[in-house]
Amino acid sequence: MLYFGTASNGRYLYAVDAKSGEVIFKFKTSGTEHFLLVEDQILLANRKNKPVLISAKDSLLLKEIEFEKFRLSADQIMLVSGGRLYAVANDGAKMHAVCTEI
């Protein structure tokens, strides 16, 4: 499976079968450039720049991650370790380094 985002050119995350070229799914986002594969899930920003987990098989929304007032930054800098998400985010006024359970 090949996963890629179209950033601001369509604003979708696509999953494409690498052998056949068939589009398996597309998931509407705010402009995906960065995402993380976490086991059989994909962590990315939704249309509101909030982190979500979707199924890597069919794009089913599995979990909206509690992120309080924060939104992922435009760069979507994220790291997952030990069941936690570490990210650069903003609160509308300034940038923060934040951490939350996934």
- Token pair of 61 as six digits: 């929304």
CA distance to 30, 37, 96, per residue, from 54 (Å)? 15, 10, 25
Mean pLDDT (10-residue bins), the chain, 102 residues = 84 93 92 88 91 96 92 87 94 94 92
Q: What is the pTM of this model?
A: 0.88
Give the per-residue pLDDT at 9: 73
According to the model, what pLDDT value does residue 55 have? Answer: 97
- Looking at residue 48, its pLDDT comes to 87
CB 41 within 8 A of CB 55: yes
Cβ atoms of 24 and 17 within 8 Å: the answer is: yes
Residue 76: the pLDDT is: 83
